[in-house]
Chain A
């Protein structure tokens, strides 16, 4: 999957300073008393043909980013460029052709299909509406889609409740593919499935991505699954990206203390190796309404200094040209000093 990485680095999506604040209403006369800062200033790029994994614990804002990219939620601030088109500033009519290019696979396969429609209707209607298929060819196109996601042709006249979770997720993927997208947000697509089915769906996503040259944003909290499908991984904590880099590099050489903790929390099969070097984080995740000052991770960070409490760290490359970025100047200077010595 790492073939010719350096040559094909054309950004498909450029996300700049993306923010999403949800107002909190309260008081006797309803007014905004504060904001939940779900995503608080995030910038990154997604290159054509790659899979970017987005990990972090529940509530860190990773799903919100995915929903903003496909237009389900309006960013509070910041811009999303799709091939240099600013999606947020287009009016509804102009943005319509781009909408089909950015699709989504949902977390819960049980609620992602209309229970009153059979599979044929579910798949045919968007294709016909957008003129991607015609009345004469739509059946052939749907059968093609079903072949692609590994479902038998006999499912056409069936209703969603007749399928298992894994099968429904395949239909969900077929639905996303039906509009010929270039980019798909996979919002924890396997976390609602049995472990045995998870692997099937992950393999399907991987092979489809290769076959169709798709670009994926894979949102998840299972590090194993994310690592399995991703070329690059971004780690989020409390609405910010704290570290980002090639999947292999990130796993082998994590820099940010949060990434380190996250990686060491992955269960190890061998009982003898279990307790060694495990970094268990103390404390709770900070509030996204009133996030900690400076670096958001500092109350739980073993390396925190006074500077961390005051200044918010920016993303820096760990080594020039490596593409591995981290937002922890303390650890990075520490490490470079150690290397020099």
Chain B
């Protein structure tokens, strides 16, 4: 391999000039583009994200305003019909997506921060800290978390922020394990040892040397946490333990489908939010897949 590199050097005058002079981000994006499904998903996700972001501009009605007849079928005035008390489904859908994405992203952020900090500490310091943190992680992981969430939701007042916090505090064990594994590997590498020999500070070693080298897998994992926590939000809201009405979320919009008449006779009430959850979760998962391939140092 080294010989090849030397040859490259003579042919181009500079080592591997054609591919290697791009930055890491450029390389990742070039590889990402090769993943068709990932690209499509990214576009879908961006479009839906923008729609959610600009919901106040795009929504034809106030989401909580009783604007039309009860359970009206889709028509020109109400493109996706109206719900049981006459609110515009399309407007509610846009706002619901906003809430659901907010819950997903915030919960992912919280669990990523917790997971990264615990993983770094456990992996780098080892010994008793590692032991305590990892057993705690195992405990959280093995606990039937829907029960945990239900109990927590029962103790704290159900609502937007309590669901964000609850989901944030149950989704971190995977990230903690991932980070710990990476740190254990990195700690043994020569460049970390070199920094120890150079007497660099702990802060520098942890956050400037180790963390940047484990960002890629964290990012990939975080996409799956994002998809999962959006699903969890939908499930909890469906059970009435999540986001509370009148605030719309994709989960509590599905609530109506608990009744058999809605399920069979009024599909416009539950198909759009259901479909949106599926599309969002799938798009996020495909993006995660593409990202995984793109950051893999072994791929071309």
Contacts and interface: CB of A to CB of B under 8 A. Distances in A.
Given A106-B190, A162-B21, A116 B213 contact: yes
Nearest to A155: B15
B190 A71 contact: no
A112 B197 contact: no
A96 B196 contact: no
B34 interface: no
B208 A111 contact: no
Nearest to B3: A194
B217 to A, nearest CB: 13
Given A112-B191, A164-B5, A129 B196 contact: no
Contacts of A116: 24, 212-213
A125 B15 contact: no
Contacts of B2: 164-165, 194
Given A164-B5, A179-B198, A111 B21 contact: no
B190, B195, B197, B198 — most chain A CB neighbours (10 Å):
B197
B199 A111 contact: no
B16 interface: yes
Given A106-B190, A163-B15, A129 B197 contact: no
A161 interface: yes
Contact of A159 (B5, B24, B194, B212): B24
A130 interface: yes
Contacts of B33: none
Contact of A108 (B24, B190, B204): B190
Contacts of B193: 72, 104, 106
B16 A162 contact: yes
Contacts of A213: none
Q: How large is the interface on B (under 10, 10 to 19, 20 to 34, 35 or more residues)?
A: 20 to 34
Contacts of A125: 200, 204, 208
Contacts of A161: 20
Nearest to A104: B197
B208 A71 contact: no
B198 A126 contact: yes
A70 interface: yes
B9 interface: yes
B209 interface: yes
Interface of B is mostly: helix
Nearest to A152: B14
A207 interface: no
A115 B196 CA distance: 17
Contact of B20 (A70, A72, A162, A179): A162
Given A106-B193, A114-B209, A100 B198 contact: yes
B299 interface: no
Contacts of B16: 162
A38 interface: no
A99 interface: yes
A112 B199 contact: no
A50 to B, nearest CB: 21
A25 B121 CA distance: 23
B11 interface: no
A161 B189 CA distance: 15
A115 B198 contact: no
A115 B216 CA distance: 13
Interface in B1-18: 2-3, 5-6, 9, 15-16
B149 to A, nearest CB: 35
A71 B21 CA distance: 36
B201 interface: yes
Contact of B189 (A103, A111, A172): A111
Contact of A164 (B9, B24, B194, B204): B9
Contacts of A164: 2, 5-6, 9, 15
B3, B198, B200, B201 — most chain A CB neighbours (10 Å):
B198
A207 B190 CA distance: 25
Contact of A114 (B9, B20, B191, B197): B191
Nearest to B198: A126
Contacts of A126: 195, 198-200
Interface in B204-231: 204, 208-209, 212-213
A113 interface: yes
A102 B21 CA distance: 34
Contacts of A298: none
Contacts of A103: 197-198
Nearest to B24: A116
Interface string A229-272: 00000000000000000000000000000000000000000000
B194 A106 contact: yes
B197 A99 contact: yes
A113 B191 contact: yes
Contacts of A106: 190, 193-194
A72, A111, A159 — most chain B CB neighbours (10 Å):
A111
A19 B201 CA distance: 27
A37 interface: no
Interface in B176-204: 189-191, 193-201, 204
A162 B195 contact: no
Contact of B199 (A100, A107, A159, A175): A100
A203 B191 CA distance: 24
10 contacts: A72-B196, A100-B198, A103-B198, A104-B194, A111-B191, A113-B191, A114-B213, A117-B212, A130-B198, A130-B199
Report the 8 A-B pairs with minimum CB-CB distance, sorted nearest first.
A99-B199, A112-B190, A106-B190, A126-B198, A116-B212, A111-B190, A114-B191, A162-B20
Interface of A: 70-72, 96, 99-100, 102-104, 106-108, 111-117, 125-126, 129-130, 158-159, 161-165, 172, 175, 179, 194
